Amino acid sequence: MDSRPLPPLSRLPAFEAAARHESFTAAAEELGLTQTAVTKQIAALEADLGLRLFERRNRAVFLTEAGRAYGRVVGAALAEISSETVRLRGGRAPGGLVLHCQLCEAFYWLMPRLSQFHERHPGVEVRVVSALAPLTAAPDPFDVAIQTTGRPSGSARLAFTASDEVFPVAAPGLVPPERLPLSLEDLARQPLLSHQVLPQDWMDWPDWFAALGRPGPRGAKVIGFDSFPLVLQAAVAGQGIALGWRNTVRGLLAESKLVRVCDEAVFRPAEISVFRGSRSGNHAQTDALLTWLRGELADPAPA
């Protein structure tokens, strides 16, 4: 008789999908099941384990610490099984590493410097997958992921965090040079470009002023956009002043497409989170990519 303490394996795919998405509804859609079926399978798994894997609050679910840890183990195991199944069927899983990255960081920060990683590791292929949605909406497994700290990450394992700094930027000439640097009072009178999304996963103008202990820009002309790349492009085009994250706008500042317009800045000690995914692959290559990213993100000099 097999004495290994395994749970009923039929319950694991529903749990893994729900942990990855941190959503029973998204898991049901992915697996072609009803939400009720997913809920029942996870409840049965929790009963078998004798602990809660999810907290249920206000029609949403959130992984417990035990659920997050178990999700990483189950996700890695199912990824290994999937990869070996592909091999046994005569197919070949795509090679290289998959790096999942927020669109803005992928475009403005990652791509201009990725050649440096290839020069250091010429035998490692990196496939960049960019996205606006958080990791919980990632359609495919990944080896490494980069996103703003605090956004939903499901069962992805945190590798490290990195700091960033947030300050106002604008196109050269939008504010006459003799008026720079702007005071916070003068800044609030300028057109302000805002990245407005629900939920508000990123710092916006009210948060920035509050972090400096100042009231928000009441009565300011605020122009909203639904993606941060659009905010930056509008700033470059001279439509207003945007909040710039040091790592993201460094290249635009160096090329004089944007300039800082204030002395004030908000330092964020853990603004960026880098995750190790559950995709089956070469762990040494994944470690090399994580080491390189850690070095690139390590507290650069102020922009």
Which CATH number fits the domain that encloses residue 128?
A: 3.40.190.10
Q: Are 101 and 119 contacting, i.e. CB atoms less than 8 angstroms apart?
A: no
Domain boundary among the residues 64, 88, 112 is at 88
What is the span of the domain harbouring residue 74? 9-88
Residues 240, 115 share a domain = no
Residues 146, 63 share a domain = no
**267-296 pLDDT, tens digit each:** 999 999 999 987 766 788 999 999 999 999
- 136-149 b/e (C-beta count within 10 Å ≥ 16 → b): bebeebbbbbbbbb
Judged by average pLDDT, the poorest of 173-177, 241-245, 298-302 is: 298-302
pLDDT of the residue at 290:
96
Residue 184 or 155, more confident? 184
Tell me what the mean pLDDT of segment 66-84 comes to.
83
Residue 213's pLDDT band, with cuts at 50, 70 and 90, is very high
Tell me what the mean pLDDT of segment 7-20 comes to.
89
Does some domain include residue 40? yes
Tell me what the mean pLDDT of segment 145-160 comes to.
92
Q: In the numeric block, which tokens belong to residue 215?
A: 């009231």
Predicted TM-score (pTM) of the model is 0.76
Does some domain include residue 194? yes
Whole-number average pLDDT of the chain: 88
Residue appearing with tokens 């394992």: 157
Q: Is the pLDDT of residue 85 over 50?
A: yes
Residues 156, 81 share a domain = no
Give percent above pLDDT 70 in the chain: 93
Does some domain include residue 2? no
Residues 103, 172 share a domain = no
Residue 163's pLDDT band, with cuts at 50, 70 and 90, is very high
Residues 234, 114 share a domain = no
Residues 123, 45 share a domain = no
Residues 167, 235 share a domain = yes
Q: Are 243 and 148 contacting, i.e. CB atoms less than 8 angstroms apart?
A: no
Q: How many domains does the chain have?
A: 3
Judged by average pLDDT, the poorest of 1-5, 16-20, 42-46, 236-240 is: 1-5
Q: Is the pLDDT of residue 94 over 70?
A: no
Radius of gyration of the chain (CA): 22
pLDDT of the residue at 231:
95
Judged by average pLDDT, the poorest of 17-21, 41-45, 76-80, 246-250 is: 76-80
Which residues partner with 85 through β-bridges?
A: none
Does some domain include residue 4? no
CATH of the domain at 51: 1.10.10.10
Q: Of 273, 212, 199, nearest to 243 (Cα)?
A: 212
Residue 286 or 94, more confident? 286
Does some domain include residue 157? yes
Residues 262, 175 share a domain = yes
pLDDT of the residue at 223:
94
Does some domain include residue 24? yes
Residue 87 or 149, more confident? 149
Residue 21's pLDDT band, with cuts at 50, 70 and 90, is confident
Residues 274, 260 share a domain = no
Q: Is the pLDDT of residue 101 over 80?
A: yes
Residues 25, 51 share a domain = yes
CA distance 236 to 68: 41
**169-201 pLDDT, tens digit each:** 999 999 999 999 999 999 999 999 999 877 777
Residues 175, 215 share a domain = yes
Does some domain include residue 303? no
Does some domain include residue 224? yes
Q: Is the pLDDT of residue 1 over 50?
A: no
